[in-house]
Chains A and B, each alone.
Chain A
Amino acid sequence: MKSRNLLKFGLIAAAALMVFGCGSGDASSSASSTTPTTAPAAEGKKLKIGVSIPSADHGWTGGVKYWAEQEMKNHPEIEWVYQTADNPAKQNESLDAMLAQKIDGLVILAHASEPLTPKAKELHDAGVFIVNVDRGFTEPIADIFLAGDNKAFGRISAEFIAKQLNGKGNVLILEGVACNVNTDRVEGAKEIWAKNPGIKVLDSQQADWNMQKAFEKMQTMLVKHKEVNAIWAADDDMALGAEKALKEAGRDKNIFILGGAGMKDIVKRVMDGDPMFPGDVTYPPSMIAQGIKLAVETMKGKTKEELKARKPTNETVKIELIEKANAKDFYFPDSIY
């Protein structure tokens, strides 16, 4: 019996070794040290930078993952420590692990602001240079803050709808998962609805950034509301679900949808002049690549003291309206999103 247990243990250990052996092999080929020989030997030690982002659980975060991995490949001179996390608690844990690995810098797209702020502060106090992308911390911890502006997202897309409808018409709304991103987008849009008394928001339902849910909620809303002129969706995944419901119900005439975040399928249709999608709003997942690049450019060749003396800077990722005329500037056929 005992020897059998030993055998089992051995098997499990061997399997674990294989799995994790492969895993770390992959990581190093995609991220960290593909080119140890060609690395410029200006300094004795490679810079070690952590990258912490949410796991790819829908289209947009899939895009973030894609752009992060692309940009890390562009900088083989850096030793990358790369982690994705399912939720804020996991992201906290991965930051702990990065601290233990003694990273010099951190590029982070936080799951949520509040739960990550104390941990980010801890890293910053330990001398880690922090580049924060998209969502800000509740305290000014970041050395570089590259802010996404979800309120502007909501405002710009709602303004477009109001203009398109000449200030008069009925609108249905599809919201994402209840969280800061969604609240900011919806609030941004509300500011515009308030300024346009002719625009009536008939209904607003939550579809969790999910195409199938958006489809089903829209099916139900369409039965209830006979006169609808436009649909405002908090992202492009849900916009596609809404379109399917419109088509299925035979209501796809004289109506248009405005999603957002610049999914390539939607941008393509804006470019082609599809009446269902007259426009879109950018919220580029490539902002993570911009953050990684900023981190590398700022940190390279500087000592810890120099970095510490540097004044924190803020930049905002520009949120832009995509229309037929400029759509080709936002269409990346090879992008994942």
Chain B
Amino acid sequence: MKLFAVQTFFQLGRDRSDLLINALWEHIEMSLISLLIAVFIAVPLGIFLAMYKKGAEPVIGTTAVIQTIPSLALLGFLIPFVGIGTMPAIIALSAYALMPILRNTYTGVKGVDPALSEAARGMGMNYGQQLMKVMLPLAMPTIMAGIRTGMVLIVGTATLAALVGAGGLGDLIMTGLNRSNNYYILLGAIPAALLALFFDAVLRITERKSSGSSITPIFIVVLAAVLVVATPNVLQALNLAEDEPEEIVIAGKIGAEPEIVINMYKLLIEEETDYEVILEPGLGQTDIVFQALLNEDIDGYFEFTGTAITNLLNEEPVSNDEQEAYEQAREGMLEEFNLVFLEPMAYQNTYALAITEEMAEETGVETISDLTAIEDELTAAFTFEFADRDNDGYPGVQEVYGLDINDVQTMDPGLRSEALVAGDVDLIDAYSTDSYMIRYNLVTLEDDENLFPPFNGAPLFREDVLMEFPEIENILNQLGGRISEEEMMEMNYQVDVEDADEEEVARNYLIEAGLLEE
């Protein structure tokens, strides 16, 4: 069994080697840039603070405060200011590494025996010479220890950067979490750990080589890091000079379904125009991707009507009729945000409450109302988003059904179906088209009070984008009214469970539907 698992893991590594190498490279690049920035800020600042002493504690204290901000919160906080992608990731990662490097530099330089610095001055060294010949070499072991700590922090935290579209090994981990696939998680986590060990070894060797009067090896390593980071970017910049077709950036939230759908958008647009479509799949949850759209980091993404009404517009749904809900969402988004909601597809991916088949048989529960009878014995696992959504989330359920579940836990979307199947919880919130509905034979409870608004998926674009590229409106409206719930569930299953490529799944559907030629 174990051997089988190891084989599966390596098989996945081979099959996905392109993905892995790309993610690894993104991870290295992001980590190195962040580390270099942190070093270039924290080391000179630490030296300055150590020499002038005043103000050291407040400054170091500030970096310590930054350290206490949860990394995801910091990433999310940065998006309105710097947008999505590598930029917020690098800023956040640099900020995290500041504290250990600054503190160690300060301690190291301050800890140099005053007699030695007096000797250096008395012998007629100027400030620079004192620093390079005496202070830095003596403080170097402490400074390097700080840099190594900062580096491990960066490489570890960089896995979260996937949530803001920065890519890296976190992409693989998020995919794994989302699909409840441990091999993907390991495919991201193991290289991340090895990367941390590798960087640590490089820094340790550098430190050993530089113990002595010379700190040249440090400069060589810094230079090498700068080159590694700069070369591809310079090459890219040179390539950019050439004429490129116009680009449209389309994003999707985390998960198989948005990624399949936006691949369909890409295939259709590129089939019928010369535009190049760049996809940003897995861009976190609603807040992050919506903010990215408003920031013009992306041009459009795949959104649901229900989410637009209750979450983005913060309105009550006027009706449970799909068409009326769509009208409400379309008008609201246009008025409030100058965003255009194109025609929605047929299937609904509504929120649902789901239980296992066995439990349904045991308790005879069929509707959400039925739950109130057994609410004192229930344990539920909800996503953070569901637990928080006023109108169509758990607060809404409490209000409309008078349901008061004994124990509610919040967890990542990818984990809650596992928790349900493992018997840790009795009830979860589910998306009706998610693959685990098939995989685990889950039963959805009827929304007998019609609480959940219709959730039809549709492209959401900025108005100015559609003015610039008017053709894409008609192209994407071809998907309007298509794709049934069963078809979507099947496609999700192919990706999540059978590990099919999202683009292939999208292409097959479009060909079958006659929208794309073979």
Q: Does B associate with A?
A: no
Q: Hey, which bits of chain A sit against chain B, CB under 8 A?
A: none
* B interface list, Cβ under 8 A from A: none
